Amino acid sequence: MSSNADFDRWLVMCRPGFEGDTAAEMVWRLGAAGVGGHARTRDGSGLLEVFPAHGDALAWLQADILEHHVFPRQICAVSAAVEDLPASDRLTPLLEGWQRPVAEALVETGEGDGHRELGKLTQRLTGPLKGLLQERGLWRPEDSAALRLHVILDTGTRAWIGAAPQRVSSPVPGGIPRLRRQGGAPSRSALKLDEALRYMVGEDRRYMDLRSGMMAVDLGAAPGGWTWVLRQWGLGVYAIDNGAMAPGLASDPDVVHIRADAFTFEPPRRVDWLVCDLVDKPARVVELMARWLRRGWADRALFNLKLPMRRRWQAVADAEQRFFRVLGPESSKFTLTFRHLYHDREEITAYATPTA
């Protein structure tokens, strides 16, 4: 069974339709690490297998060569899928020979059309999986160094079993956070900023970097989804948009609505945060963000980039190069990370923060 074999590949989950872009990123990262490799994709599945050219795939995950990845939602090291699993007991053959202690265990499936009916099955198997691990003395939830176990269903009778360091893979199935739109939020876009603050700024850092009394600029604010989230954290906001703001925000004394062009607006003072969710070409938006930071108008920037339909990974690489080119002599003062978040859909989120 695959649980006895060395891990020779990564199983990667992404948004369906982004398999090719994710493969391009993974192969690039293997090449940049001097490893090399190739990917095998299946369009629309939300799953792909990535094969490092040499070495154990788990060891490469532990070496953090995928730090700051963009398109993957979930990553683990696996070997070949286990076929012909009996419907009466799928877990016993999957765990045959498994001897690695684990701190967590997830049962997951892809997000593509062919996998949606498996969602309930993943839920039914999660408890029994943890029970089997406990029976075998392999359940170590208190061990921060132990691996996270992943069981990924491709069909009802075919699955991969693998593992990843806890710092590398996502602790939620499929890497998909279950966030609910909060009452009072004027638009769905609030979920995008909420997710970005959780997973890009970080659960701990956001309590330090978002504080009452800080000021932010929201470019392209109307009707106010991102402004609303910032107000929940106690920030005052300059909301820049020629469109109307939601009534609750329009009457908020800590929201200054300025009807102006986002690309020509200049702030009355330096602000702590610049956020932006403009519908425009990625090149224009990333250059705008870099100009603000180069001029010292904001301490940090969190923004979305609308991606083209093709060559999305190349578009990400181009955006990064353009950002630092415009920053010029200020480049060393900032780091830039990208992430294709669940609520982003056909876009990515970028976070530019002062270098530690």
Regarding pTM above 0.85, the answer is yes
pLDDT of residue 206: 87
Residue 203: phi and psi, rounded to 5, are -60, -40
Catalytic-labelled residue, pool 120, 130, 192, 306: 306
Two tokens, residue 282:
């990625």
pLDDT reading at 2 higher than 60: no
- Give residue-wise pLDDT tens across range 166-188: 999 999 999 998 887 777 888 88
pLDDT of residue 257: 98
- Give residue-wise pLDDT tens across range 210-258: 999 999 999 999 999 999 999 999 999 999 999 999 999 999 999 999 9
- Give residue-wise pLDDT tens across range 288-306: 999 999 999 999 999 999 9
pLDDT of residue 5: 55
Positive or negative, the CA dihedral 219, 222, 224, 226 is negative
User: 286: part of which helix (H) or strand (E)?
Assistant: helix 282-294
User: 30: part of which helix (H) or strand (E)?
Assistant: helix 19-32
Question: What is the phi-psi region of residue 234: left when phi exceeds 0, alpha when psi lies from -120 to 50, beta otherwise?
Answer: left
pLDDT reading at 276 higher than 80: yes
Is 192 known to be catalytic? no
Rounded-to-integer distance, Cα 234 and Cα 256, Å: 14
Rounded-to-integer distance, Cα 193 and Cα 161, Å: 33
* Helix orientation angle between 225-232 and 189-196, rounded to the nearest 10 degrees: 40
> Which domains does the chain show, CATH number per domain?
2-175 (3.30.2130.30), 189-354 (3.40.50.150)
